[in-house]
Chains A and B, each alone.
Chain A
Amino acid sequence: MANQAISDVVNGLVELPPRVSEWRRFRRVFFSRSVVVFGMIILLLFIGVAIIAPLIAPYGPYEPDLEHTLQNPSAAHWLGTDALGRDTLSRIIYGTRTSLEIGLIVVSVACLVGITLGTLAGYYGGWVYIIIMRFVDALMSFPMILLALVVAALLGGGMRNVIIALSVALMPNYARLMCGQVLSVKQNDYILAGRAMGASNLRLMRHVVLNCLSPLIVLITMMLGVTILAEAGLSFLGIGITPPTAAWGSMVNDARQYLLVLPILSFAPGLALMLVVFAFNMVGDGLRDALDPRLRGLL
């Protein structure tokens, strides 16, 4: 029966549907929603701004100009100046660097540690599972910002410590996702076949991890937005990035006391923050639909 069908195809008796490559299917779904495309454009713009910040920023981000403090927007200073006379636009442009840098590093660290712990827990099960996942549950039972707050309190503020704090707070998400994925992937026949062929645990785990990539990519994109938002929250509370480094959260906080005089000083950095987070979320949504629509509702 099966042979008959194959020979029909080979002899050109049956026409096969045209093959759609994975990549083309991905592209079609990904670019089908205009809001995803909008998110992608915004994201590319911000990444570009972060890379060429020194070329496009009209002033240095740390250049005080005590003769022109708290200025309204003008031709010389498009978004005005802060209490030290620093150009708001330039500080927002440099703030893009701070945000994206922290987002990337935190997500990479959290992802690596989380994947490792989650994979070990899911793959070995038993006591390894209980110990790792109870620890992860414990971390997940506090609100992310509170957890980051405590770690930041232990270590103090500053870029490096913010990165550590947020990585600790974010890691459990990856561990939990990975553990669940591994538990289901390891039931597949190809893992059993691999084991039967005598593949080592490490080699099998590699296969398991590679088969969990889709949800991971989606989670990574979405978590970039969450991380950037959390960093801004910490900096806003005065526990994150320390001055004078340009960070959106601390800019909003510094500008708070001049709200009545110069509201744009608070509004502009927050708007940039919201746009970036929105863009990451939309691109994450698009990736989810394009890579694996079954993840809808899970991520």
Chain B
Amino acid sequence: MISYLVRRFIQSLVVLVIVSILVFVAMRLLPGDPIRMIITASNTESFTEEQITQVRHEHGLDRPMFIQYFDWVGGFLHGDMGKSILQKVPVSDEVVRRIPITFHLGILAFIIGLLIGIPVGIIGAVRRATWLDTLVTTLSNLGITVPIFWLGILLMYLFGLYLNWLPVMGYTSPFTDFWLSTKQLIMPVFCLAVFPIASTARQTRSSMLEVMHQDYIRTAWAKGVKEQAVIMRHALKNGLIPIVTLAGMGVPMIVGGTVLIETVFNIPGMGRLAVTSVLNQDYPYVQGIILIVSAAVLVVNLMVELVYGWLDPRIRYD
């Protein structure tokens, strides 16, 4: 078990190193010259070759690529992600300010996805081929196809502009004003949760249908176990493994969704930052965001594998 964990951890680290190299090299291939952007951003009207060389030296961009890489990674490990080219502020400050916002949105969407998706899927499977099942199947098929940025605009029109029930955009920390924060979060979190809810419901339904045919379920019925216990204790626990896999795979989907939803609802999180820094070619930001996001996804993958062992003791880690 321990040796398996160590091995998996090392594998994830290797993937992370590959990601960092890919990102680093990719950013150096950007068409614009960052130096010229730094100088233009500081409003120097004309600049000599000497100045360029000097700025290049100041930013350490005249050193060999691989030294720059190790410098960057070393800095990263100390919490120093470099400075924004345009805003001249340390990337880490901005990122640290924005991570909680995106995390707040994402974790709510993730939890809601499971809390609604699993029961809905169970209802579909247990009441198979009734109108309830048809409703569940149709809604979940729509849920995995709806463009969430469009859904956001639709909701914004209906509840924000037309009915005037909810604030149209923005983000407030729950510690400043909990009620306002909740009202502002309803629409974005719902949009982010639509895909997790729908895909979890689909997966729960089909894995429950599969499990319900097993002999041990018939045995449970035969020995007079109550319906609720058959479903929750005997069927669901065995059907959960593919659902956990899917939930793990849903994390990148939610993170990708925040990019769109934070733009629609004007929320100052990581996703919005990713879009603006890509548009501005502010590469220290892009590098930092990508690395953080992939580290987060890898951690989630590791956690998913641990949950497998708890759900199905037959899975041996060796």
Contact = CB atoms under 8 A, between A and B. Distances in A.
Contact of A237 (B145, B263, B289, B297): B263
Given A236-B260, A263-B157, A274 B274 contact: no
Nearest to B28: A154
A239 B149 contact: no
Interface stretch (B92-100, B109-117, B251-259): B251-259
B206 A141 contact: no
B242 interface: yes
B14 interface: yes
Interface string A238-270: 110000000001001000100110010011001
B154 A141 contact: no
Contacts of B200: none
B252 A281 contact: no
Contacts of A139: 22
A259 B156 contact: yes
B259 A229 contact: no
Interface string B7-50: 00000001100110011001101110000000000000000000
Interface residues of A, number: 46
A141 B279 contact: no
B108 interface: no
A274 B18 contact: no
A274 B145 contact: yes
Nearest to B278: A153
A152 interface: yes
B279 A239 contact: yes
Contacts of B157: 259-260, 263, 266
A278 B274 CA distance: 28
B22 A237 contact: no
Given A141-B297, A154-B30, A146 B154 contact: no
Tell me what chain A mostly uses at the interface: helix, strand, loop, or mixed. helix
Given A142-B297, A229-B147, A270-B153, A134 B260 contact: no
B206 A297 contact: yes
A273 interface: yes
Contacts of B22: 138-139
A281 B297 CA distance: 26
A233 interface: yes
Contacts of B207: 297
6 contacts: A138-B19, A142-B294, A143-B259, A143-B293, A266-B154, A297-B210
Interface of B: 14-15, 18-19, 22-23, 26-27, 29-31, 138, 141-142, 144-147, 149-150, 153-154, 156-157, 161, 203, 206-207, 210, 242, 252-253, 255-256, 259-260, 263, 274-275, 278-279, 281, 286, 289-290, 293-294, 297-298, 301
Q: Which 9 A-B pairs have the closest CB atoms?
A: A143-B256, A270-B150, A153-B278, A145-B256, A143-B252, A138-B18, A277-B145, A278-B145, A141-B294
